Amino acid sequence: MARSALHRLLARHAPHAPTRRGLVDDAEVTARPLLDDVLRTAVEAAEDGSWRPASRLLATTGWNWERRWEAVQALAAHADEADGDWMQDWLLEQPHSPDAITAHTGWLIAHAEVLRHDRAVPKATRVRGFRRALVAASDRAGDAARLAPDDPTPWAQQLAVVHGLRLPEEKFARAWKELLDRDPLHRAGHALALRYRWDSHLTGQAPSARAPEPDAALYPADSYPEALDFADQAAESSPSLSWLRLLVAAQADHWGEPAVAASISATTGWLRDGGGDAPDARHHRAALALALVRTGGHAEAVEQFRALGRRADSPVWDHVGPTRRSAFLGTRAEACRNSPRG
Protein backbone atom coordinates (compact mmCIF):
# COMPACT_ATOMS: atom_id res chain seq x y z
CA MET A 1 0.00 0.00 0.00
CA ALA A 2 1.35 3.45 -0.95
CA ARG A 3 2.35 5.62 2.00
CA SER A 4 -0.20 8.35 1.16
CA ALA A 5 -3.00 5.80 0.95
CA LEU A 6 -1.90 4.28 4.27
CA HIS A 7 -1.89 7.71 5.91
CA ARG A 8 -5.42 8.38 4.66
CA LEU A 9 -6.59 5.02 5.97
CA LEU A 10 -5.04 5.60 9.40
CA ALA A 11 -6.44 9.12 9.59
CA ARG A 12 -9.91 7.84 8.73
CA HIS A 13 -9.82 5.42 11.65
CA ALA A 14 -8.11 7.68 14.19
CA PRO A 15 -10.07 8.06 17.45
CA HIS A 16 -11.10 11.62 16.65
CA ALA A 17 -11.49 11.25 12.88
CA PRO A 18 -14.50 13.17 11.52
CA THR A 19 -15.88 9.99 9.95
CA ARG A 20 -16.05 8.40 13.40
CA ARG A 21 -18.32 11.28 14.42
CA GLY A 22 -20.64 10.60 11.51
CA LEU A 23 -19.23 13.48 9.45
CA VAL A 24 -18.42 13.20 5.77
CA ASP A 25 -14.96 12.04 4.77
CA ASP A 26 -12.35 14.70 4.00
CA ALA A 27 -12.25 13.59 0.38
CA GLU A 28 -15.91 14.52 -0.09
CA VAL A 29 -15.53 18.11 1.13
CA THR A 30 -15.57 20.72 -1.61
CA ALA A 31 -15.24 24.49 -1.81
CA ARG A 32 -17.34 24.49 -4.96
CA PRO A 33 -20.91 25.66 -4.30
CA LEU A 34 -23.37 22.77 -4.25
CA LEU A 35 -26.59 23.61 -6.07
CA ASP A 36 -30.07 22.40 -5.26
CA ASP A 37 -32.08 20.66 -7.98
CA VAL A 38 -33.76 23.81 -9.28
CA LEU A 39 -30.52 25.78 -9.48
CA ARG A 40 -28.71 22.83 -11.00
CA THR A 41 -31.33 22.50 -13.73
CA ALA A 42 -30.98 26.17 -14.65
CA VAL A 43 -27.18 26.08 -14.58
CA GLU A 44 -26.93 22.88 -16.62
CA ALA A 45 -29.34 24.28 -19.19
CA ALA A 46 -27.23 27.44 -19.39
CA GLU A 47 -24.12 25.35 -19.92
CA ASP A 48 -26.00 23.72 -22.82
CA GLY A 49 -26.82 27.15 -24.24
CA SER A 50 -30.42 27.58 -23.04
CA TRP A 51 -31.44 30.63 -21.01
CA ARG A 52 -35.12 29.77 -20.50
CA PRO A 53 -34.73 27.70 -17.29
CA ALA A 54 -32.73 30.57 -15.77
CA SER A 55 -35.47 32.96 -16.78
CA ARG A 56 -38.13 30.74 -15.19
CA LEU A 57 -36.03 30.39 -12.03
CA LEU A 58 -35.67 34.13 -11.46
CA ALA A 59 -39.31 34.72 -12.35
CA THR A 60 -40.39 32.34 -9.56
CA THR A 61 -38.22 33.76 -6.78
CA GLY A 62 -40.88 36.38 -6.14
CA TRP A 63 -40.18 38.40 -3.00
CA ASN A 64 -37.79 35.83 -1.59
CA TRP A 65 -34.88 38.18 -2.03
CA GLU A 66 -32.25 35.95 -0.45
CA ARG A 67 -33.23 33.13 -2.81
CA ARG A 68 -33.05 35.54 -5.72
CA TRP A 69 -29.58 36.62 -4.64
CA GLU A 70 -28.37 33.01 -4.40
CA ALA A 71 -29.82 32.24 -7.84
CA VAL A 72 -28.18 35.26 -9.45
CA GLN A 73 -24.85 34.39 -7.83
CA ALA A 74 -25.01 30.79 -9.04
CA LEU A 75 -25.90 31.79 -12.58
CA ALA A 76 -23.18 34.44 -12.62
CA ALA A 77 -20.48 32.04 -11.45
CA HIS A 78 -21.35 29.39 -13.98
CA ALA A 79 -21.84 31.89 -16.79
CA ASP A 80 -18.25 32.98 -16.37
CA GLU A 81 -17.08 29.38 -16.61
CA ALA A 82 -19.13 28.76 -19.77
CA ASP A 83 -18.94 30.74 -23.00
CA GLY A 84 -21.72 33.08 -21.89
CA ASP A 85 -23.59 32.95 -25.20
CA TRP A 86 -26.77 31.87 -23.43
CA MET A 87 -26.85 35.13 -21.49
CA GLN A 88 -26.34 37.22 -24.61
CA ASP A 89 -29.16 35.26 -26.27
CA TRP A 90 -31.39 35.99 -23.28
CA LEU A 91 -30.62 39.71 -23.43
CA LEU A 92 -31.28 39.79 -27.17
CA GLU A 93 -34.61 37.99 -26.70
CA GLN A 94 -35.67 40.00 -23.63
CA PRO A 95 -33.67 43.24 -23.62
CA HIS A 96 -35.97 44.89 -21.07
CA SER A 97 -36.27 41.97 -18.68
CA PRO A 98 -35.11 42.94 -15.17
CA ASP A 99 -34.31 39.28 -14.55
CA ALA A 100 -31.99 39.10 -17.56
CA ILE A 101 -30.36 42.41 -16.71
CA THR A 102 -29.88 41.47 -13.05
CA ALA A 103 -28.31 38.16 -14.08
CA HIS A 104 -26.04 40.01 -16.50
CA THR A 105 -25.04 42.43 -13.74
CA GLY A 106 -24.13 39.49 -11.54
CA TRP A 107 -22.01 38.06 -14.33
CA LEU A 108 -20.17 41.36 -14.82
CA ILE A 109 -19.32 41.50 -11.10
CA ALA A 110 -18.18 37.88 -11.07
CA HIS A 111 -16.16 38.43 -14.24
CA ALA A 112 -14.47 41.46 -12.67
CA GLU A 113 -13.27 39.23 -9.84
CA VAL A 114 -11.93 36.69 -12.32
CA LEU A 115 -10.01 39.44 -14.11
CA ARG A 116 -8.71 40.78 -10.82
CA HIS A 117 -7.07 37.49 -9.88
CA ASP A 118 -5.79 36.43 -13.31
CA ARG A 119 -2.05 36.39 -12.64
CA ALA A 120 -1.36 35.45 -16.26
CA VAL A 121 -2.38 38.97 -17.28
CA PRO A 122 -0.24 42.08 -16.60
CA LYS A 123 -1.40 44.04 -13.57
CA ALA A 124 -2.30 47.19 -15.51
CA THR A 125 -4.45 45.16 -17.89
CA ARG A 126 -6.15 43.42 -14.97
CA VAL A 127 -6.97 46.72 -13.33
CA ARG A 128 -8.43 48.21 -16.51
CA GLY A 129 -10.55 45.12 -17.15
CA PHE A 130 -11.67 44.99 -13.52
CA ARG A 131 -12.73 48.63 -13.59
CA ARG A 132 -14.51 48.40 -16.95
CA ALA A 133 -16.50 45.38 -15.80
CA LEU A 134 -17.61 47.06 -12.57
CA VAL A 135 -18.53 50.33 -14.28
CA ALA A 136 -20.65 48.33 -16.73
CA ALA A 137 -22.17 46.42 -13.81
CA SER A 138 -23.17 49.68 -12.15
CA ASP A 139 -24.89 50.85 -15.33
CA ARG A 140 -26.77 47.57 -15.69
CA ALA A 141 -27.77 47.52 -12.03
CA GLY A 142 -29.23 50.98 -12.55
CA ASP A 143 -31.24 49.67 -15.50
CA ALA A 144 -32.54 46.75 -13.43
CA ALA A 145 -33.48 49.03 -10.53
CA ARG A 146 -35.58 51.21 -12.84
CA LEU A 147 -37.34 48.18 -14.35
CA ALA A 148 -37.94 46.42 -11.00
CA PRO A 149 -38.18 49.21 -8.42
CA ASP A 150 -39.13 46.89 -5.53
CA ASP A 151 -36.17 44.54 -5.97
CA PRO A 152 -33.25 45.10 -3.56
CA THR A 153 -30.93 42.90 -5.65
CA PRO A 154 -29.64 45.67 -7.96
CA TRP A 155 -28.83 47.79 -4.92
CA ALA A 156 -26.91 44.95 -3.30
CA GLN A 157 -25.02 44.67 -6.58
CA GLN A 158 -24.31 48.39 -6.44
CA LEU A 159 -22.77 47.84 -2.99
CA ALA A 160 -20.42 45.29 -4.57
CA VAL A 161 -19.47 47.87 -7.20
CA VAL A 162 -19.00 50.64 -4.63
CA HIS A 163 -16.67 48.39 -2.65
CA GLY A 164 -14.73 47.16 -5.67
CA LEU A 165 -14.15 50.63 -7.11
CA ARG A 166 -13.63 52.22 -3.68
CA LEU A 167 -16.21 54.87 -4.40
CA PRO A 168 -16.77 57.63 -1.82
CA GLU A 169 -19.13 57.48 1.13
CA GLU A 170 -22.00 59.25 -0.60
CA LYS A 171 -22.14 56.52 -3.26
CA PHE A 172 -22.22 53.88 -0.56
CA ALA A 173 -24.88 55.78 1.41
CA ARG A 174 -27.19 55.99 -1.62
CA ALA A 175 -26.98 52.28 -2.42
CA TRP A 176 -27.25 51.35 1.25
CA LYS A 177 -30.37 53.46 1.79
CA GLU A 178 -32.05 52.09 -1.33
CA LEU A 179 -31.30 48.53 -0.25
CA LEU A 180 -32.66 49.03 3.27
CA ASP A 181 -35.79 50.74 1.94
CA ARG A 182 -36.59 47.52 0.06
CA ASP A 183 -35.31 44.90 2.51
CA PRO A 184 -33.96 46.17 5.84
CA LEU A 185 -32.67 42.70 6.77
CA HIS A 186 -31.07 41.74 3.44
CA ARG A 187 -28.27 39.50 4.67
CA ALA A 188 -26.07 39.48 1.57
CA GLY A 189 -26.38 43.25 1.34
CA HIS A 190 -25.27 43.64 4.94
CA ALA A 191 -22.25 41.42 4.30
CA LEU A 192 -21.30 43.58 1.31
CA ALA A 193 -21.73 46.74 3.37
CA LEU A 194 -19.47 45.26 6.04
CA ARG A 195 -16.74 44.79 3.45
CA TYR A 196 -17.02 48.46 2.55
CA ARG A 197 -16.72 49.44 6.20
CA TRP A 198 -13.59 47.33 6.57
CA ASP A 199 -12.05 49.09 3.59
CA SER A 200 -13.16 52.59 4.60
CA HIS A 201 -9.53 53.70 4.86
CA LEU A 202 -9.17 53.14 1.10
CA THR A 203 -12.21 55.19 0.04
CA GLY A 204 -11.40 57.62 -2.73
CA GLN A 205 -8.08 56.07 -3.73
CA ALA A 206 -7.58 55.03 -7.32
CA PRO A 207 -8.76 51.45 -7.91
CA SER A 208 -5.42 50.64 -9.53
CA ALA A 209 -3.79 50.76 -6.11
CA ARG A 210 -5.75 47.85 -4.75
CA ALA A 211 -8.08 46.22 -7.22
CA PRO A 212 -6.01 43.14 -8.17
CA GLU A 213 -5.11 42.09 -4.64
CA PRO A 214 -7.04 39.43 -2.67
CA ASP A 215 -9.56 40.79 -0.17
CA ALA A 216 -8.23 38.59 2.63
CA ALA A 217 -5.28 40.95 3.09
CA LEU A 218 -7.41 44.10 3.24
CA TYR A 219 -8.69 44.24 6.80
CA PRO A 220 -6.40 46.62 8.70
CA ALA A 221 -6.60 47.11 12.44
CA ASP A 222 -7.55 50.78 12.10
CA SER A 223 -10.80 49.79 10.34
CA TYR A 224 -11.76 47.33 13.08
CA PRO A 225 -13.75 49.77 15.28
CA GLU A 226 -15.88 50.97 12.36
CA ALA A 227 -16.57 47.43 11.14
CA LEU A 228 -17.31 46.32 14.69
CA ASP A 229 -19.77 49.15 15.22
CA PHE A 230 -21.54 48.34 11.96
CA ALA A 231 -21.82 44.64 12.82
CA ASP A 232 -23.02 45.34 16.35
CA GLN A 233 -25.79 47.63 15.12
CA ALA A 234 -26.89 45.05 12.57
CA ALA A 235 -26.86 42.23 15.11
CA GLU A 236 -29.05 44.28 17.45
CA SER A 237 -31.67 44.64 14.71
CA SER A 238 -32.20 40.91 14.08
CA PRO A 239 -30.74 37.51 15.06
CA SER A 240 -30.44 36.81 11.32
CA LEU A 241 -27.67 39.42 11.18
CA SER A 242 -25.75 38.25 14.26
CA TRP A 243 -23.35 36.30 12.06
CA LEU A 244 -21.86 39.62 10.90
CA ARG A 245 -20.37 40.03 14.36
CA LEU A 246 -18.77 36.60 13.95
CA LEU A 247 -17.35 37.63 10.56
CA VAL A 248 -15.70 40.64 12.18
CA ALA A 249 -14.23 38.41 14.88
CA ALA A 250 -12.92 36.02 12.22
CA GLN A 251 -11.40 38.79 10.12
CA ALA A 252 -9.71 40.44 13.11
CA ASP A 253 -9.11 37.19 15.04
CA HIS A 254 -10.67 38.81 18.12
CA TRP A 255 -12.83 36.32 19.99
CA GLY A 256 -12.82 37.49 23.60
CA GLU A 257 -15.48 40.21 23.54
CA PRO A 258 -18.83 39.50 25.25
CA ALA A 259 -20.60 40.40 22.00
CA VAL A 260 -19.08 37.30 20.38
CA ALA A 261 -20.77 35.02 22.91
CA ALA A 262 -24.06 36.86 22.41
CA SER A 263 -23.77 36.49 18.63
CA ILE A 264 -22.99 32.78 18.95
CA SER A 265 -26.16 32.35 20.96
CA ALA A 266 -28.28 34.47 18.61
CA THR A 267 -26.99 32.77 15.46
CA THR A 268 -27.53 29.34 16.98
CA GLY A 269 -31.10 30.28 17.85
CA TRP A 270 -31.81 31.72 14.42
CA LEU A 271 -30.57 28.58 12.67
CA ARG A 272 -32.58 26.39 15.02
CA ASP A 273 -35.79 28.40 14.69
CA GLY A 274 -36.11 28.35 10.91
CA GLY A 275 -33.00 30.06 9.60
CA GLY A 276 -31.41 26.68 8.96
CA ASP A 277 -33.61 26.36 5.87
CA ALA A 278 -32.55 29.73 4.42
CA PRO A 279 -30.67 29.74 1.09
CA ASP A 280 -27.59 31.21 2.76
CA ALA A 281 -27.73 29.17 5.99
CA ARG A 282 -24.42 27.48 5.25
CA HIS A 283 -22.57 30.79 5.54
CA HIS A 284 -24.06 31.41 8.97
CA ARG A 285 -23.23 27.85 10.04
CA ALA A 286 -19.64 28.20 8.84
CA ALA A 287 -19.13 31.43 10.79
CA LEU A 288 -20.78 29.84 13.82
CA ALA A 289 -18.68 26.67 13.59
CA LEU A 290 -15.48 28.71 13.46
CA ALA A 291 -16.60 30.90 16.37
CA LEU A 292 -17.47 27.86 18.48
CA VAL A 293 -14.05 26.28 17.88
CA ARG A 294 -12.25 29.53 18.68
CA THR A 295 -14.21 29.95 21.93
CA GLY A 296 -14.04 26.34 23.11
CA GLY A 297 -17.46 25.10 22.05
CA HIS A 298 -16.04 22.11 20.21
CA ALA A 299 -18.97 19.72 20.69
CA GLU A 300 -21.41 22.33 19.40
CA ALA A 301 -19.07 23.04 16.48
CA VAL A 302 -19.12 19.36 15.50
CA GLU A 303 -22.90 19.60 15.17
CA GLN A 304 -22.60 22.62 12.90
CA PHE A 305 -20.09 20.75 10.75
CA ARG A 306 -22.54 17.87 10.64
CA ALA A 307 -25.17 20.21 9.23
CA LEU A 308 -22.67 21.71 6.77
CA GLY A 309 -21.83 18.29 5.38
CA ARG A 310 -19.40 18.70 2.50
CA ARG A 311 -19.95 22.42 1.91
CA ALA A 312 -16.75 24.43 2.36
CA ASP A 313 -17.61 27.34 0.07
CA SER A 314 -18.26 30.03 2.69
CA PRO A 315 -16.12 33.20 2.54
CA VAL A 316 -15.39 33.06 6.28
CA TRP A 317 -12.83 30.32 5.57
CA ASP A 318 -10.76 32.84 3.59
CA HIS A 319 -9.62 34.28 6.92
CA VAL A 320 -8.48 30.95 8.35
CA GLY A 321 -6.29 29.15 5.82
CA PRO A 322 -4.74 29.29 2.36
CA THR A 323 -7.86 27.75 0.79
CA ARG A 324 -11.45 27.48 1.93
CA ARG A 325 -11.33 23.71 1.82
CA SER A 326 -8.14 23.41 3.87
CA ALA A 327 -9.45 25.92 6.42
CA PHE A 328 -12.72 24.01 6.72
CA LEU A 329 -10.94 20.69 7.16
CA GLY A 330 -8.45 22.04 9.68
CA THR A 331 -11.11 23.70 11.81
CA ARG A 332 -13.34 20.63 11.64
CA ALA A 333 -10.46 18.39 12.70
CA GLU A 334 -9.75 20.70 15.65
CA ALA A 335 -13.39 20.50 16.71
CA CYS A 336 -13.34 16.71 16.56
CA ARG A 337 -10.03 16.39 18.44
CA ASN A 338 -11.24 18.55 21.31
CA SER A 339 -14.80 17.30 21.56
CA PRO A 340 -15.60 14.36 23.84
CA ARG A 341 -17.29 11.52 22.04
CA GLY A 342 -20.88 10.93 23.06
pLDDT at residue 69 tops 90: yes
Statement to judge: residues 227 and 193 lie in one domain:
no
pLDDT at residue 8 tops 90: no
What pLDDT score was predicted for residue 79? 75
Statement to judge: residues 196 and 248 lie in one domain:
no
The answer to whether the beta carbons of residues 69 and 154 sit under 8 Å apart is no
pLDDT averaged over every residue in the chain: 89
Residues 6+ apart with CB under 8 A from 42: 53, 54, 56, 57, 71, 74, 75
Task: Read off the pLDDT of residues 279-335 as tens digits, 9 standing for 90 and up.
Answer: 999 999 999 999 999 999 999 999 999 999 999 999 999 999 999 999 999 999 999
Split at pLDDT 50, 70, 90, the class of 203 is: low
Cα–Cα distance for residue pair 257/66, rounded to 1 Å: 30
Mean pLDDT of 57-81: 91
Counting residues of the chain whose pLDDT is more than 70, the rounded percentage is 87
Residue at a domain's end among 155, 182, 211: 211
Cα–Cα distance for residue pair 59/128, rounded to 1 Å: 34
From the list 190, 191, 202, the residue with the least C-alpha distance to 164 is 202
Provide the β-strand partners of residue 30. Answer: 311
Tell me whether residue 95 is in a domain: yes
Statement to judge: residues 55 and 204 lie in one domain:
yes
Residues 6+ apart with CB under 8 A from 52: 45
- CATH number of the CATH domain containing 201: 1.25.40
> What would the DSSP string read from start to end of 22-85?
TPPPGGG-BSSPPP-HHHHHHHHHHHTT--HHHHHHHHH-TT-HHHHHHHHHHHHHHHHHS--H
Structural domain boundaries, residue 251: 219-342
What pLDDT score was predicted for residue 217? 42
pLDDT at residue 1 tops 70: no
Statement to judge: residues 204 and 88 lie in one domain:
yes
Task: Read off the pLDDT of residues 247-280 as tens digits, 9 standing for 90 and up.
Answer: 999 999 999 989 999 999 999 999 999 999 999 9
Tell me whether residue 145 is in a domain: yes
Angle, to 10 degrees, between the axis of helix 65-81 and the axis of helix 187-198?
70
